[in-house]
Structure 1
Amino acid sequence: MSIDLTLDRIRRLLGVLTYTRPTIHIAGTNGKGSVCALVSSILSAADPPLAIGRFNSPHLISVLDSISIKNRPISEEAYFSAKETVERTDKENAIGASNFELLTCTALVAFEHAAVDVVILEVGMGGRLDATNAVSDDCILVSALTAIDLDHQAFLGDTVGAIAREKSAISRPGRPFAIGPQVHPEVTDVARSVVAAVGGEVIPLPIVTLANWDDTLDGPAPPRDSAFEGSSPRLVQVSMACFTEPIRALLPLHGAHQLANLRVAAGIISAALTHPSCEKFGLGLRVRITPTAVARGIANTRWPGRLSYHTLALQAQAPVEPSGTQKLLVLADGAHNPASAAALADYLVDLLEEPRSPQGVPSRPLVLTFVLALSHSPPKTPAQTLAPLFALPERLPRGRQVRIGAALLRFTPPAGMPWVRPEPPSVIRAAISTLVLSPGSSIDLWPDSAADADTTNSDANEEEAAGKSESGAPAPLERALRWAAGRHAAEQEDALVVLAGSLYLVADFYRLLASLGQAQEIWGTN
């Protein structure tokens, strides 16, 4: 399906509506949502507090969570009030804005109605022609670019350089621009040239490092969250030009890539505090954002569905007999392209490495079950996305016994986005069969055959994702997790479920938790 990328309609619409809030604008392929969450949390920790609005896309569970005010999803009343204003204005002026343009304007109008102090605005796709880029230069505080990799090539270009050029085009004259650490050096060069061409200013990034716990500086060490050492928050040290001393804080977002994201977030904060162009907004950030506020904001950050841990209790099914209630530790991550899957795999390697016994052999085998669904998004292939995950056994320490399984599913297609469709499980199964596993390794798959996989998943819809099919039987996702519970029932083994491949699958998982009466707080508070 074609998407008409132009700013003409939304500029007309915003010309009739009113939007004046100071705005931080963030683009990138991977990590932009995490940076939005970090910046939002840090600003929310100001003293006295700042009211923060944040717009992220796509939404996770419902459209309400794409628009947050004071770090909570917008209320239905506020959302529908802003939506009605936008849609009426669009109709009265015969503009014909697209669904995403209407949603973007709904968010902006809601932030204006709430009179928030600062808005954190995540680019939907690309940058130059993304609807969020219609916000006027006068509103922009800081812009930023996170990690760039190949994705959405049909719309953005076939090279990382072309994609970087599109995404860097959110830069504004006279405004600070943060360029995050990049895997591809070409990206930084392209981004710098784009920023220079519009008269923006590339700012240096703060230094972020892991730190060793010091009882004198940091107080008593917090307890571990679970059986895996790497699942606990990490102590980091952040050196920002706007403060004389480094800041020590607990970072709850997992993965080495989050250190890079924190550098971008800290750079945005530092620029907002010190860049001359930001003073005109009169926010008093130099006084309100203290080292203590930054540390508190980092520690309070929540970004669900990105290396986030959850536990649930399910009735196990075969192969374990007799079946019984089993508690599952689930790591949910929206990794949906080769770069984000590689970041997930890197995290899993660090997480699952186990200190060796005196004899040099880890003492406990590992049962690892992937629950997977993927979008159909050529030229990206399922094999390219999954390759880092299924190469995992080769990267673990020699002697570490691993039993891998994978449940293959469809996700619930998001409403209003007909171009987003899941890959059939049989296609995912075929991709897995092409991946090279370590010699002598094997993998358990659910369902057992390609035909069963497509049949089992053929009628997935939002009601099924919520936990029950029309017949009242468990939905495919619940059945997949019950199968995982059966694999994980042996107490002498370490066990982890990794749910990945699409944020839409993560959303199905959160809906399932709610339907089972096991809903967990995922947004957090400041």
Structure 2
Amino acid sequence: MSIELSLERIRRLTSQLPPYSRPTIHVAGTNGKGSVTCILSSILLASGLTVGRFNSPHLISVQDSIIINEQSISYQEYSIARATVESAEQEHGTGISSFELLTLVALQVFEKFRVDVVVIEVGMGGRLDATNVVPDECILLSTLTAVDLDHQAFLGNTVKLIAQEKAGIARKNKPFVLGIQKYAVVENVVRATVDQAGGHFIAAQSAQRRAWDETIDGPFPPTLSLDAESFSPPPPQPIAFTSSAFPNSLSALLSLNGAHQVDNLGLALTVISTLMTHPSCVSRMPKSFSECVMKTIQTGIRNATWRGRLSFHQLTLSSPIPRAMTVLVDGAHNPASSETLASYISTLVTMLDSNPQARILRLTYILALSHSPPKTPKETLAPLLTFRTGTRLSIQTKVAAVGFTPPEGMPWVKSVPPPEIAATVREVAPGVGLWVAPDESEIRGQLESALEWGATEESDIVGIGGEDGVQQLVIVAGSLYLVADFYRLLAKQSDSGR
């Protein structure tokens, strides 16, 4: 089955299901929409609301896409809602896709539990995405994160065309909040699209990085260490935000990693400000909402987490000898997100410069890519493997190329063959150590084999394993589906350790 963007099928089936009525925030974008949904959900939950969230693709199991109060729904609840949708589908034969079915299951679950507000991430594009079936009267506001080139085969070959498709979620008489953009053309085309739909265009206000203030933020955290035995994570990011909705400048700590998350936070806080002040939103939100937000927003910001996006984890491999490692996972899957990951790695290197115990940094990339023409492996990997940073540290890099487990219900998603990834690595970063999973081998076990290679071969090649001053970091990236495989491995290890 291939992807066919259309609202015709899902609208026909929706008319045969119990109506959806939950107040909904709709989030589109190329990069950052998942992060914005998690920040919004965390702030809304901290304010005392019951919050539903829909994200895709899932990580470990399909019900992970459907979240209430930051907890995935149970398999039982998922199965009950799915049975309702499938029964209607069988009766009316609309031929909906897997994603359309999942979207309707999520809406049924949120309606059943009568959640106070729902935050929905667009799957692809916007105008013809299945999530755009949510009725106009349910939409509180729509918002658009950073727009860049991706999925050109479905959305258009230019940023302008892609932005126009994504802005197609705008609704009449409802606010539309646009996040900070890399390309000036985006704002122009989005303004025009929102105006044509009769919506109210709002440009997001920026959040700002500020210096750590111990009177506000508490004692400064320990110096960064990537060593698995004495891991000390990067500190949260101190931010400030000014808005007419807040009488004073808002100061908070953002736990999400990466400078780009400050822009995502600014967009999320503009959305919250709009919910507090725009007449069409105020009339739908609880009367005490603004008062509660003022008291709890710092907690909501600090509690926001987003698995698989610049997330640190500790993993211990049992073979050939027990070995602990620090792993950074990130679903960077296109050139823009690859640049973001490279920028963050540069930031980590700068932080390590202030750790006098660190002399050598070993970076092991484990990479898989989705086959998604016209996007090429070189376009995605070049920013990641060619970044430069001025540092006293000696940086040693190597790469493992693997495949990923095909996601459930998406048979059209295929891995780029590992030898093809390896050829790109040799072209972009000649001379790095390279491990390649056999193209004909089973996908199962490839990631674990790559991790074992990263843990054991390094000391043999360099000859200094275990020496003081060596920091090691494994980076799992290139596809969110590979990140999903990592989380399955992490869960397996956690279960075996009980």
| TM-score (normalizing by structure 1) | 0.88
CA offset digits 1:323-372 (Å, max 9, x no partner): x32210000000000000000000101111257699xx996011100011
Counterparts of 2:288 and 2:369 in 1: how far apart (Å)? 42
Distance 1:201 1:229, change over 3 A: farther
Partner of 1:480: 450
Offset, 1:411: 0.4
| Alpha carbons 2:224, 2:352 under 8 Å: kept | no
| Alpha carbons 2:358, 2:471 under 8 Å: kept | no
Counterparts of 1:430 and 1:253 in 2: how far apart (Å)? 33
Distance 1:396 1:362, change over 3 A: farther
Partner of 1:298: 301
Give the letter for the 2:310 counterpart: L
Offset, 1:14: 1.9
CA offset digits 1:169-214 (Å, max 9, x no partner): 1011111111111111111111111011111111232331112222
Give the letter for the 1:107 counterpart: A
Counterparts of 2:425 and 2:132 in 1: how far apart (Å)? 39
Partner of 2:126: 127
Give the letter for the 1:415 counterpart: E
| Alpha carbons 1:408, 1:453 under 8 Å: kept | no
Counterparts of 2:130 and 2:484 in 1: how far apart (Å)? 24
Please list, as runs of the form range in 1=range in 2, the aligned pairs for 1:96-495 lying within 5 A after superposition.
96-223=95-222, 226-227=225-226, 231-284=234-287, 286-315=289-318, 324-353=321-350, 364-392=359-387, 395-397=388-390, 399-436=392-429, 442-447=431-436, 453-455=438-440, 458-460=441-443, 464=444, 475-486=445-456, 487=458, 489-492=465-468, 493-495=470-472
User: SS at the partner of 1:169?
Assistant: helix
Counterparts of 1:377 and 1:73 in 2: how far apart (Å)? 29
| Alpha carbons 2:275, 2:285 under 8 Å: kept | no
| Alpha carbons 1:247, 1:291 under 8 Å: kept | no
Counterparts of 1:404 and 1:75 in 2: how far apart (Å)? 41
User: SS at the partner of 1:511?
Assistant: helix
Counterparts of 2:348 and 2:270 in 1: how far apart (Å)? 28
CA offset digits 1:414-470 (Å, max 9, x no partner): 121111100110000011111156xxxx311114xxxx6324xx211xxx3xxxxxx
User: SS at the partner of 1:207?
Assistant: coil
| TM-score (normalizing by structure 2) | 0.93
Counterparts of 1:140 and 1:7 in 2: how far apart (Å)? 17
Please list, as runs of the form range in 1=range in 2, the aligned pairs for 1:72-91 lying within 5 A after superposition.
72-91=71-90
Structure 2 stretches lacking a partner, 5+ long: 460-464
| Alpha carbons 1:52, 1:70 under 8 Å: kept | yes
| Alpha carbons 1:354, 1:362 under 8 Å: kept | no
Partner of 1:54: 53
Distance 1:233 1:398, change over 3 A: closer
Partner of 2:32: 31
Give the superposed CA RMSD. Answer: 2.1
Counterparts of 1:271 and 1:287 in 2: how far apart (Å)? 11
Offset, 1:100: 1.3
Offset, 1:385: 0.4
| Equivalenced residues, count | 485
Counterparts of 1:104 and 1:485 in 2: how far apart (Å)? 40
Offset, 1:219: 3.2
| Alpha carbons 2:328, 2:473 under 8 Å: kept | yes
Partner of 1:517: 494
Distance 1:356 1:42, change over 3 A: closer
Structure 1 stretches lacking a partner, 5+ long: 318-323, 465-474, 521-526
CA offset digits 1:244-281 (Å, max 9, x no partner): 11221111111111011111111111111110011232
Offset, 1:516: 2.1
| Alpha carbons 2:62, 2:408 under 8 Å: kept | no
Counterparts of 2:294 and 2:221 in 1: how far apart (Å)? 21
| Alpha carbons 2:177, 2:267 under 8 Å: kept | yes
Give the letter for the 2:208 counterpart: T
Give the letter for the 2:425 counterpart: I
